[in-house]
Amino acid sequence: MRSFAERQAGLQKAVRPLRKKFGKQQMASGEDVALQLVRFLLLEESSHAEVNEAMVRIPAGFVDLNELRISFPEEIAEVVPGVSFIQRKASRITQLFNAMFLRHNTMTWEFLRTYNIRDLRQYFEKIDGGDAVLSAAAVMLLSPGHAIPADSDVRRTLGRLGLTEHGEDVAALQGFLERAVAKEQGYETWALLHRLAETVCVVGEPACAKCLLHGFCPTGIDKLTKKAKKSETKTEKKPEKKKPAGKKPTAKKPKAAVKMAAKPAGKNNQKKKKKK
């Protein structure tokens, strides 16, 4: 088990080159609460480009957020087909929006920004469609509080970097992140890990050779070492095959003597015999 200080140092070591590559990440301001929640839910295991396109299509495909709320997941999927796992995500969005609408009878939720951190966490942990990850996202996006949501992208990238503990649940990992990362760097750390997740540390087989962290990432080191060994094995010279030994020349058998048949007596001999 790695100590807190070791994990914190490992996280900082990963974030620095990511910031250099992707630039400083800043939260967009002025977006509606409901749309901020939609963006967050769509972004999990999807790229920023896919989600940005979806956020343009949603206002064009639905009259308002209320129509989005009452739409079937299949209908939402038709409007934003480019987002991964869209039907599953659409189902969760409508579940959450319906639960919030039943509580407040409105789709305008700016009042959530006035909640204190504890109440905001509890609100999204207990409501239908909510959970510990969404509650941390709400604190990060809607309040001045400090939280870093450990969604599947964050868990995957940190796990491959060796910065999670065996059996560590979401709440424990989020607790570690909140202690290890300064408040003013919370959103940026989450956003940079997402950039890593969507470019090389993808779902399935990661593109470790293209990752700028592969030099100290345990997963990258392991995969690239195995690949190098496999390549070496293939390039090794194959042992030359021995030529089959030639057959020994067999001694020629002496030709059997051919008996010459006696020549039949000629006509002259026959005449001589008659004279006698």
What is the CATH classification number for the domain harbouring 142? 1.10.340.30
CA 104 – CA 113 distance, rounded (Å)? 15
Has residue 275 been placed in a domain?
no
Residue-range definition of the domain harbouring residue 206 = 4-218
Output the pLDDT for position 229.
87
200-230 residue pLDDT tens? 999 999 999 999 999 999 999 999 999 888 8
Output the pLDDT for position 28.
82
Output the pLDDT for position 30.
83
Residue-level length of the chain: 276
Has residue 126 been placed in a domain?
yes
Give me the number of domains the chain comprises. 1
Has residue 93 been placed in a domain?
yes
57-107 residue pLDDT tens? 999 999 999 999 999 999 999 999 999 999 999 999 999 999 999 999 999
> Mean pLDDT of all residues in the chain?
89
Has residue 251 been placed in a domain?
no
- Does pLDDT of 148 surpass 60? yes
Output the pLDDT for position 275.
44
User: At CA 198, angle to CA 218 and CA 181, rounded to 5?
Assistant: 65
Say what angle helices 170-180 and 132-142 make with each other, to 10 degrees. Answer: 30
| Structure tokens that stand for 108 in this block | 């305008």
Has residue 223 been placed in a domain?
no
Has residue 188 been placed in a domain?
yes
Has residue 108 been placed in a domain?
yes
Has residue 276 been placed in a domain?
no
- Does pLDDT of 237 surpass 50? yes
